[in-house]
Amino acid sequence: MHIENLSHWSGHLNREMYLNRYGHAGIPVVVFASSGGSHNEYYDFGMIDACASFIEEGRVQFFTLSSVDSESWLATWKNGHDQAEMHRAYERYVIEEAIPFIKHKTGWFDGMMTTGCSMGAYHALNFFLQHPDVFTKVIALSGVYDARFFVGDYYNDDAIYQNSPVDYIWNQNDGWFIDRYRQAEIVVCTGLGAWEQDGLPSFYKLKEAFDQKQIPAWFAEWGHDVAHDWEWWRKQMPYFLGHLYL
């Protein structure tokens, strides 16, 4: 398997940002880490090995990004607005710096895929919904898609609202976005077992919104034995990859 340990300077975040590449060909899959995770986490917890056949066949190549969650949504000493503004700086990094870097490395200029587990699933779905011209496939595993989980009630702060999928999706009526959502491949999965309860309300609210707006998506509920844990994400990711058009 082709592996590269990469880094590049981010002007938006004013620091060197590290990322890893796993694979030599195929659609780039941008991976967001779970809470407190690094760009090495996806490999360290066996996710790359779980998807190895897809990588070695040249169907996908994974790019695992660094996170700034400890300075944004997990920075509980900040007020909610400042947490959201730090996330917005990270969004600018991803879209204006990381994505062009990946395009340059791969020569891939079509739509990309994004994915993540837990906190990474929140990022994956949020980035897809905000930028469906960049990401045309998403696999979100065991996320919480409501910004209140991070900041509490946010009293109509726009910076937070714009990053709370369970809220803004209801008011997304722009045909440009809706058309792209309908053309995309969308997987949102949750287990019903241990430690998955935090994500269930936003999972069901999102499903309701997608159904109402006639956006095709696979909202997959796995069983009551399926926990919020890497053991299950290692099973889910290759399963869903096998059902996408790659």
In the predicted structure, residue 43 carries a pLDDT above the cut 90: yes
In this prediction, residue 154 carries a pLDDT of 83
- The answer to whether residue 161 is domain-embedded is yes
Residue 246 lies in a domain: no
Q: What was the pLDDT predicted at 153? A: 85
Does residue 72 carry a pLDDT above 80? yes
pLDDT for 64 = 99
With 0-12 / 13-18 / 19 or more C-beta atoms within 10 angstroms meaning exposed / middle / buried, residue 12 is middle
In a domain, residue 198? The reply is yes
Q: Above 80 in pLDDT, residue 155?
A: no
pLDDT tens, 169-213? 999 999 999 999 999 999 999 999 999 999 999 999 999 999 999
pLDDT of residue 156: 82
Residue 171 sits in which domain range?
3-241
Q: Does the predicted model carry a pTM greater than 0.85? A: yes
CATH code assigned at 178? 3.40.50.1820
Tens digit of each residue's pLDDT (9 = 90 or more) over 94-152: 999 999 999 999 999 999 999 999 999 999 999 999 999 999 999 999 999 999 999 88
On whether residue 223 sits in a domain, the answer given is yes
Look at residue 125 in the predicted model and tell me its pLDDT. Answer: 99
CA distance 188 to 157: 26
The answer to whether position 136 is within a domain reads yes
Q: How far apart are CA 226 and CA 30, in angstroms?
A: 25
Whether residue 111 lies inside any domain: the answer is yes
Q: Once rounded to an integer, what is the mean pLDDT over residues 25-46? A: 97
Residue 17 pLDDT > 90: yes
Residue 115 counted as domain residue: yes
Question: Strands (DSSP E) along 72-184, which ranges?
Answer: 112-117, 135-141
Predicted pLDDT of residue 35: 92
Strands 218-221 and 15-22: unpaired
Number of domains present in the structure of the chain: 1
